[in-house]
Structure 1
Amino acid sequence: MKYACFIDESGDHVLKIDKDYPIFVLCGVLLTKEEHDNRLTKLLNELKTKHFGRTTIILHTAEFLRPRSLNSVYYPLCDVNKRNDFYKDLENLIRNIDFKIIAISVSKPDYLADFKEVAQDPYLLSTKPLVKTVCLLHQELKLNEPIDFIAESRNNELDKQLMANYQYLNSSIPRIAEMVAFPNPVKKDKNVVGLQLADLVVTPIGRNLLDRKQYLNFDCIKSKLKLFKIPADWSRLKNIT
């Protein structure tokens, strides 16, 4: 059975503390190709059609939390009733899709205090524990094919850095090629539903870690979530938030 892990992030990858959002979360959603191509695609397209009138829209949480203009396709979600209806349908979708969530979360205040000048880009830092966890799941599931590790393209330079990091992981983790494959990052306009699912769950994970208001019942995510924190102690974060 073929699996894929779709990757998205919440927060800025730069080594600078944003007091409004002082963490970084890298999230992978793991599901079978069959579940992705059939059930998830069907349910997500139904959600898009019901709330936005078309399936070609590419769901992006940052935009529908803060619509840019009155002409935004997401502007109707400013209405509290429409927003609540959307999130209820999203909760049902998350509950009804068979997938796992792996999230690597970085407290920037604690990480930078501990590692100072040798601190690494949080995105690249988070990639190794995410890949290693996916490798362990590959072994637990006793799969015969590698799991595709599919990330969204950001820009040419960042994509090059990510692929170089993947090459390093290929040389540093025993038998990794049997467990994980690293295709090139995918452009957002490809409308990949797995990447949109990752986008839809990663922001609630970040908001939960910061004890911020949620727009959906977090239990639908929590039941599927395996969470890791970098570093283990987040005591300095409390001084920021």
Structure 2
Amino acid sequence: MTQADNDFSDFIIFVDESGDHSLTSISAEFPLFALAFCILRKTDYATEVAPALDSLKFDTFGHDLAVLHSRDIRKQQGDFAVLRDAARRAKFLSGMSAVIAEAPFTLCVTAIDKIRHKERYRNPYNPYHLSLQYCLERTYRFLIAQEQRGKRTHIIAESRGKAEDKDLELQFRRILDENEGWDHHFELRFASKSCNSIGLQLADLAAYPVARHVLEPEQANRAFDIVEKKLMTDGMVGMSRATRPSHRVKGYEGIGLKIFP
């Protein structure tokens, strides 16, 4: 086996966002953009996570073609119209919570308050591009701590259209160019929603409750209580308690969850 045959990382990363990154039209109800990196060890993904979510689909719909999307679940539309039945909805939500709670993955989220971002900066940076940079920085440190130096990690993002994908890829390359040594650690790939990627669906299900928590931190949020335990901590990126900022209350603040500005 050649080095080229054996340079793949043990991990794979799925990316999803909550909210939109537009700074020209900001929703008063949801003025936030959040980007989530869902990091999984490939063996865990193939043997535990994907089979568990597929089983949930079979139990709920009788097939595995339904694409788990947090908005569709909340609106009970499309395949999720079956959740209008209270008993089926309760069983599905309980099952989904159990699967996510038991799934071994690490979550890295950047949340940008778009109103404050525009108020603070004369020429505010694109929220998606800024979030991508922050998530890549912390994910790189996580992978190095996991002894993945020199190995290639695939980042799977949902395709948003030809122009949008091209723009994101350019920003991705720019970030790698500005960080010497990162280029051989990351490879960006796009996947359409129709490909029914379990990893992208998991990232979607994890992103929304974090965004909702950032918007309304005092409101009860059972979904966040579950994914909070998945957020990347300072120990995961090799940061000791002695070196972490004194103002941090929880180990994931500024690491697994970065709120900006």
Give the corresponding residue for 1:62: 71
Q: What letter matches 1:64 in structure 2? A: I
Task: Give 1:178 shift.
Answer: 3.3
Could you say which residue in structure 1 is the equivalent of 2:55? 46
Residue equivalent to 1:7? 15
* TM-score (ref. length: structure 2): 0.82
Partner Cα separation in structure 1 for residue 220 and residue 108 of structure 2: 19
Q: Give the alignment partner of residue 161 of structure 2, picking from 149, 155, 159.
A: 155
Secondary structure of 1:223's aligned partner? helix
* Larger RCO (alpha carbons 8 Å, 6+ apart): 1
Q: How does 1:101-120 map to 2 (within 5 A)?
A: 101-116=107-122, 118-120=123-125
Please give the secondary structure, in 2, of the residue aligned with 1:74: helix
Unaligned runs of 5+ in 2: 1-8, 232-255
Deviation at 1:214, TM superposition (A): 6.3
CA contact (8 A) 2:209 2:223 kept: no
Does 2:199 match 1:194? Answer: yes
Whole-angstrom CA distance in 2 between matches of 1:67 and 1:12 = 21
Instruction: Tell me, yes or no, if structure 1 residue 165 matches structure 2 residue 171.
Output: yes
Percent sequence identity over aligned pairs? 26
User: SS state of the match for residue 142, structure 1?
Assistant: coil
TM-score (norm 1): 0.88
Tell me which residue corresponds to 1:180: 186
Kindly provide the CA deviation profile for residues 153-184 of structure 1, in whole angstroms up to 9, marking residues without a partner as x.
Answer: 0111100000000110121012102322223x
In the alignment, the residues of structure 2 paired with residue 123 and residue 60 of structure 1 have an alpha-carbon distance, to the nearest angstrom, of 20
Which amino acid counterpart does residue 176 of structure 1 have in structure 2? W
Report whether the alignment pairs 1:22 with 2:22: no
Q: Does 1:228 pair with 2:258?
A: yes
The number of residue pairs the alignment matches comes to 226
Deviation at 1:215, TM superposition (A): 6.8
Measured on the aligned residues, the alpha-carbon RMSD in Å equals: 1.7
Q: What is the aligned partner in structure 2 of residue 239 from structure 1? A: none
Which residue among 127, 134, 138 is the counterpart of 1:129?
Answer: 134
Greater shift after overlay, 165-174 or 72-81? Answer: 72-81
Cα shift at 1:203:
0.8
